[in-house]
Chains A and B, each alone.
Chain A
Amino acid sequence: MGILLEVSGLKMSFGGLVVLEDVSFTVNQGEIFSIIGPNGAGKTTLFNILSGIYTPTEGRMWIDGDVLNGLRMHDIARRGVGRTFQNVRLFGNMSVIENVMVGRHCRTRSGFFKVLGRTRAVRKEETQIREAALSQLEFVGLSDCSCLPATSLPFGSQRLLEIARTLAAEPRVLFLDEPAAGLNPRETILLSRLIERIREQGITVVLVEHDMDLVMGISDRIMVLNNGRKLCEGVPREIQEHPEVIAAYLGDGI
């Protein structure tokens, strides 16, 4: 099991406000790695840096040995970094399947001038895109509503759709930003099974989540962030018993 993702000495400050400070960690190929911490610990900021939305103030990051620093967002996606958003960001002007078809964008080639003429190659690729998108919808169990407007789905399904869309881009590592937020207990159980099935496909999963049952149930390793710093890292049992983690979550007063 090799290292897929490596982050070293990451620092992020907005003006004078330091949001992340000296965060280093590695994620192994094929594992489910969770990042937990109180609100404001810097978890989403970390995702935003890794997916290229923010440029870190300091620090380096690599995927499979390739430097991610300085790459633009779409290049990072092409390198195999996929992510979902804390508040689901679907394309509301498109159908369910079209949302997933956009996911195939970085794995397909037809350019601007080619599609204007709708050449044979374009049509062939279009069929492949549709089939690949359908199989992702089947994977998350949404193939029955492929033609509905994306935002007409119930919230839980919208989350699944966002995951299917990201999977269509064939990520090597999938960042899930609070995927269980807003889900009911039944949906959360289905989600945890889905995450395990994603891992079975060989995709590494990095999870930010507040639902501790979910995190403790499926994570191989967990990293705890607090006030922008890494508090500790370990397997679920170590984290649950770690005194500093308990203090961070329950306050220092105890």
Chain B
Amino acid sequence: MHTHGLSGSARTNHVLYLLLFAAVMAALPWVFRNEYYITVLIFLGINVILVVGLNALMGYAGQISLGHAAFFACGAYISGIANTRLGLSPWITFPVGMLLTGCLAFLIGKPILRLKGNYLAMATLGFGLIVEHLLVEWGEWTGGPSGLIHVERLSIGSIQLYAPGVRYYYLVWFFVLCVIIVVSNLVDSRVGRALRALHGSELAARALGVDTARYKLQVFVLSALLAALGGGLYVHYLGFIAPASCGLNYSIGLVTMVVVGGMANLWGSVLGAAFLTLLPQFLTVLRDYDIVVYGLILVMTVLFLPHGIAQGVAVMVRAVKKRAAAGGEG
């Protein structure tokens, strides 16, 4: 479903979809009682948060980021390090990590968002690689290649949120719902139209009075904040993070989820994240070759479903309806 330019009944539909989505996600833990499935769904929720944020940047504003895992890493590591080294509560370090990541995104975004297309892709790729490298090199702080351990997991008083996992599941998916609401508000607004306009024709957008540099930077910072939110949720769930889980592979994976789900389509992002998060669970034999499969899926999608699986699903639903209608007549 496209959340573009909603008015009247489309708006009502959008709210209905949100309610339905919330109901389904609230009911899932009763279907999948297995603790392992719950863990997978928690990671899926974290991925959805990142993918929705990246879609705002890539799908709507048309600005690519091949280093988005770096913001995830910043959110996780800043909060994790502040927690382990300074002994601060994760409830404090978590928002601080997000805030600092947002500031970093502002400082990085200001110069590199002047670049376009492939050049922006290269710059963000470089940024991601630098962060990944620093995480390994600054071992004294980050724990090096083996990662940062003993990060405090989220708890309220004496109530642990990570176990049983279903508590954390609800926490994560509550955030997912908030993120989807907030980002769909954004894209269906004056600012969202400005973002899509600068994607469509930057020159025309500027000629109509859109301060394109400013909006690019704002959506870049927003998507970095959401990545940091995901990072914080990740590290304070596992109590651990390593550079391997926030490197280039993860960045590429996120981009793949956006494209496979459908550019400029928020529900597509949910589907794309679900597809590519759950797929490896069924393809465990592939192990380290998952990046190859990601690549293949990306290429196939671009070739055969340029608007992502969300569009594919919509086409299928329409075809089934049509056939049902025809069958009813015949």
- Report the Cα distance A85→B202, complex, angstroms: 13
CA distance A130 to B206 in the complex (A): 20
B12 within 8 A of A: no
Interface size class of A (residues with CB under 8 A): 35 or more
| A130 CA to B193 CA, complexed, in Å | 12
Please tell me if B185 contacts chain A, counting CB pairs below 8 Å.
yes
Contacts of B209 in A (CB 8 A): 74, 77-78, 105-107, 169
Verify A77–B190 contact, CB threshold 8 A.
no
Please tell me which one of the listed residues B4, B186, B197, B205 contacts residue A116 in the complex, with CB atoms under 8 A apart: B186
Contact with B along A135-161 (1 / 0, CB 8 A): 000000000000000000000000000
Interchain CB contact (< 8 A) of B208 among A122, A125, A126, A169: A169
Taking A94-B196, A102-B208, A116-B185 as contacts, is the C-beta distance between A53 and B203 under 8 angstroms? Answer: yes
- B208 touching A111, Cβ below 8 Å: no
Partner of A126, one of B189, B194, B196: B189
Of the candidates A52, A74, A101, which one forms a contact with B211 in the assembled complex, judged by CB atoms under 8 Å apart?
A: A74
Contact mask B182-224 → A, CB, 8 Å, 1/0?
1001100111111011011101111111111001001000100
The proximity string for B residues 38-77 relative to A, scoring 1 for CB distances below 8 Å and 0 otherwise, is 0000000000000000000000000000000000000000
Contact B212 A74 (CB under 8 A): yes
Q: Which chain A residue lies CB-closest to B198? A: A91
Number of B interface residues in the complex (CB < 8 A): 31
A84-95 CB mask vs B (1 if < 8 Å, else 0) is 010001111111
- B204 close to A90 (CB less than 8 A): yes
Is B5's CB within 8 Å of the partner chain A?
yes
Roughly how many angstroms separate A129 CA and B190 CA in the complex, as a whole number?
Answer: 9
Q: Which of A90, A103, A117 contacts B200 (CB 8 A)?
A: A90
Contact A115 B199 (CB under 8 A): no
Residues on A with C-beta less than 8 A from B34 are none
Contact of A94 among B189, B193, B211 (CB under 8 A): B193
B7 at the A interface (CB under 8 A): yes
> Closest approach, in angstroms, between the C-beta of B8 and any C-beta of chain A?
10
Quick check: is A112 within 8 A (CB to CB) of the other chain? Answer: yes
A165 at interface (Cβ–Cβ under 8 A)?
Answer: yes
* CB proximity to B under 8 Å, residues A61-100: 72-74, 77-78, 82-83, 85, 89-95, 97-98
Q: How distant is the Cα of A115 from the Cα of B189 in the complex, in angstroms?
A: 6
Residues of B within 8 A of A104 (CB): 190
Q: Is the CB of A110 within 8 A of B189?
A: yes
Given contacts A92-B201, A105-B208, list 4 more A-B pairs with CB under 8 A. A91-B205, A93-B200, A112-B191, A117-B182
Interface residues of A (CB under 8 A from B): 51-53, 72-74, 77-78, 82-83, 85, 89-95, 97-98, 101-108, 110-112, 115-118, 122, 125-126, 129-130, 165-166, 169
Interface residues, chain B, with chain A CB atoms under 8 Å away: 4-5, 7, 182, 185-186, 189-194, 196-197, 199-201, 203-212, 215, 218, 222, 264
- 19 A-B residue pairs with Cβ-Cβ distance under 8 Å, sorted by A, are A72-B211, A77-B207, A78-B209, A85-B203, A89-B204, A91-B204, A91-B205, A94-B200, A98-B5, A105-B190, A105-B197, A107-B209, A110-B190, A115-B185, A115-B189, A115-B192, A126-B190, A129-B190, A166-B208
